[in-house]
Structure 1
């Protein structure tokens, strides 16, 4: 009989122990599940909802940033969220575990009327379950936190690598377009390494200094107003191109919409006062239009200023009048886009006032020569005294002397070449197109040669007939390639530009690589001697 009671007692004790173990396990798992649920709610609150109860650190706001844009999530905000999760997670774990222990003590021990042995054993099992659950949840939450931190680190590194690849792709595209040193501002003539872009939203128009992939966006950037903008030039199609602006402090004016999207050609026109530079520039644009109409590359003016300026010049040419003198301050370049698609070229025609070349101290303002690979020198033959002697001998009294330039070509070239030497950077020597202007005024006088479409003939006429041999020699020493053209910036009765402008414009815009400039200190003394000869020739021209 005693053995039976012993067996019954053992069964009862085993049952009680099993119940106690189950109670401990269930309570521990319940606490772990509750803490995991709270952890998930904390993640959603910090990373998605961002309501005040989930904030312990001030968020990244665009008004606090040097750039008016939101940071990419994995370039700062992800670390901020991780920091918040650590702080709020520690508070959540301690508060949740403490609340469960206090609630259990209050319900099972302090407020129990008759806490018998069975209830005390049950309360003890629950306390042990809470302790086990708290002990199990802590390393589990730390593991989740470590995985979260590792994921943030890996995605951050991947984002940096992806941004670097996109920047490299953008640099390759710019290099293929010849824009590795930046785009050219048509207002201040400075190179802009990377323009600032305005927000596409009309009511915002905040300017963003560098929108390339980085901390403020990988593929898209989000402005402080919430508008999205592309970070790569290759993502800007013609319909969604952002308004670009010069980044130089003294300028800040808008650039062409095609800046950065097309290969740029800077074509400065150098010449004295009233040499015919402005009319020649208008005639060149008309020649490009005529070539486009006869199967040549498509041409369109790049901005509203160029459209309005070209319209006035075209009307003057149609009336066979003469343009007014270019303003002495730096005028805005006339810009046109040649071609379509990948073959687009953005051409800047710079026409500076002749006063800049007449006085040597003024030529420092001609900063655009640093970007030029072809320079146009407008040579007015009426500014040479020998021309009037030839006209007198050939009965050329019909030519109006007031149409002649007041600056000698050799003086103008000497001042301009000195400015190019001061402002130009070492590299390939530019080409020179010598445009002998106003040949329409000399036509029929017997002064011009019989053939007007040959460079050698024009060179011989300048050296032998006008006595400009020193000037021609200085040009050929200073520039890598020199070509001479007889030009007439006039139109016929049908509004067609003179035929001499077509080959002249084509040569100025063709992609012939200029001859490389030899540098001093490369093993021989030829470059320094060449520079000495050029300086002596320039001094001779000035005197």
Structure 2
């Protein structure tokens, strides 16, 4: 075999060519790496501008109808992704295809954030709803009587009213008002500490709804039957119980309206004091009390509505709070019943003439309310016959010692035989799950303490919905506390109407 004289040359050429190819590949690889690093740098710089610095002209401030900034998961996460892509595409042109994997990573991170945020929204709402349901908290506006799933909250920074602060597109655990004040989105996160308003009528709700169960207590009856005085008596019996047992029971008037109406209860219940009837044109409004015993708290909304509202179906239909209640007080003035008045002798009639109201037909108010309650129960899907009714005979102190003195007689029997309310009682036992009759004296004694009959009625009112609160009203010195005597009135007394 002969040596090829070109072999050394060809070997040199191959070596040089291999070197050049490797150099080109290395340089191309370096160029690609540098180019890719440059593209990634451009991508990261745009992410910094849009996400960190907030340089996003496409996203403006909330408009005049918007009171909060959208949460990042409520839209801005996608707007930012689109803005980053737009800027990167303008910077890189066709080379943007090399950034698609990085943009895909950003999209995956955005989607993961979105999934976690909305999962947090759903979970927090479910937990909050479960807690409200477990505590049987249902919120009712004492002004418009509408039920609300959540009240509106007023920003303590700028005073704007936020209609629905619950977790959603405006925030998960906090929503940011346009004034940049952070507001809690749930009751369990502290939203109850903010000023609240009704989302339906915008009425200020000073009783901090959502913190405790609400107990709607309608008082109804003919005009002049004694509803206003009885409402004062119920409050005073609770206040007196709190004075006797401050370590276990507390009572607080919630709001200026309630304070104005009930703050003079002790004066109103003075035996010599006469109470003016509720003005017939005044719209019904609940007086709210916060009653607490130990760890149990109840928001009691008492509705003392003028008797004229119970005369016609059209007026009673406006009282939508009736469908929110399960306990009702039918207030009856015995002196206005002809059978009772005629049973008094001439001297008794002369003495009590000034205390007799013009209420002649307690059954009319009962039937109006009964029909409306049943109608509202059907609308709300509530079980019929679940309610409790107390037939409350007022002015018991004026009846003491007369020819129709109810003391020593079972109240229901006295109402049947003396008042002649057999038809009313029969209807009540059919329409309500539980019916009790009480004879009350809405007066105070010489010491300023309310008559024990009011405490007895208050215990019954609170017995089913807040047993611990009712038990806290039991007084060691109360003669009505003994078994078998709970519905026997009265404290002896004379004086003005009760």
Assess same fold via TM > 0.5: yes
In structure 2, the residue matched to 1:345 is 298
Residue 286 of structure 1: how far off its partner (Å): 0.9
Asked if structure 2 preserves the Cα contact closer than 8 Å seen for 1:273 and 1:407, the reply is no
Distance in 2 between residues matched to 1:467 and 1:75, nearest whole Å: 66
Matches of 2:292 and 2:205, distance apart in 1:
19
SS where residue 321 of structure 2 aligns? helix
Counterpart of 1:26 in structure 2 is: 30
Output the CA distance in 2 between the equivalents of 1:493 and 1:421. Answer: 43
Question: Residues 207-252 of structure 1, C-alpha deviation per residue, up to 9 Å, x if partnerless?
Answer: 2222111111111111122111111111117xx622222222xx22
Q: Could you tell me how far 1:428 is from its partner in structure 2?
A: 4.1
Aligned: 1:79 with 2:78 = yes
- Partners of 1:361 and 1:38 in 2: CA distance: 71
More deviation in 276-285 or 337-346?
337-346
How far residue 464 of structure 1 moved from its aligned partner, in angstroms, is: 1.1
Report matched runs for 1:133-152 at 5 Å.
138-139=97-98, 141-152=99-110
Specify the structure having the higher radius of gyration (Cα).
1
Aligned-residue offset at 1:450: 3.1
Structure 2 residue 394 is the aligned partner of structure 1 residue 440: no
The more displaced of 327-336 and 421-430 is: 421-430
Q: 8 Å contact 2:196–2:208 — kept in the other structure?
A: no
User: In structure 1, how many angstroms separate the alpha carbons of the residues matched to 2:60 and 2:213?
Assistant: 39
Matched-pair contact (CA < 8 Å) for 2:374–2:384: no
Q: Does residue 398 in structure 1 map to residue 351 in structure 2?
A: yes
SS at match of 1:482: strand
* Distance change >3 Å, CA 293–CA 395, structure 1 → 2: closer
* Greater share of residues in helix: 1
Please tell me whether residue 217 in structure 1 is matched to residue 171 in structure 2: yes
Partner-residue secondary structure (3-state), 2:222 = coil
- Conservation of the 8 A alpha-carbon contact between 1:434 and 1:485: yes
Which position in structure 2 is the counterpart of 1:231? 185
Q: Does residue 331 of structure 2 align to residue 332 of structure 1?
A: no
SS for the counterpart of 1:291 is helix
Quote how far apart the aligned CAs of 1:341 are. 7.7
- Cα deviations across residues 429-450 of structure 1 (Å, max 9, x unaligned)? 2110111101111222242133
Deviation at 1:308, TM superposition (A): 2.0
The Cα of 1:189 is off from its aligned counterpart by: 1.6
Q: 2:251 aligns with which of 295, 299, 322?
A: 299
On the 8 A contact 1:273/1:405 being kept in 2, the answer is yes
| TM-superposed deviation, 1:394 | 7.4
CA distance 1:3–1:501, change in 2 (3 Å): same
Q: Are the aligned partners of 2:143 and 2:286 in contact in 1 as well (CA < 8 Å)?
A: yes
- Aligned positions, number: 455
Which blocks of at least 5 consecutive residues in structure 1 are unaligned? 98-133, 514-543
1-side partners of 2:294 and 2:407: how far apart?
A: 42
Matched, 1:500 2:453: yes
The question of whether the paired residues in 2 share the 8 Å contact of 1:320 and 1:490 is answered with no
Q: Indicate yes or no: 2:419 matched with 1:466.
A: yes
In the aligned structure 1, how far is the partner of 2:190 from the partner of 2:295?
14
1:88-487 aligned within 5 A: 88-94=87-93, 138-139=97-98, 141-179=99-137, 182-201=138-157, 204-236=158-190, 241-248=193-200, 251-295=201-245, 296-318=248-270, 320-328=272-280, 329-339=282-292, 343-392=296-345, 395=348, 397-425=350-378, 426-429=382-385, 430-451=387-408, 457-487=410-440
| Inter-partner Cα distance in structure 2 for 1:246 and 1:286 | 28
Which structure has the higher relative contact order (CA within 8 Å, separation 6+)?
2
1:368 CA drift (Å):
1.3
Would the alpha carbon gap of residues 199 and 44 (structure 1) be closer, same or farther in structure 2, given more than 3 Å must change? same
1:74 aligns to what SS in structure 2?
helix
| Residue 3 (structure 1) shift | 8.3
Shift of 1:319: 7.2
CA distance in 2, matches of 1:496, 1:470: 36
Q: 1:46 aligns with which of 44, 47, 50?
A: 50
In the alignment, is the contact (CA less than 8 A) between 1:382 and 1:404 conserved in 2? yes
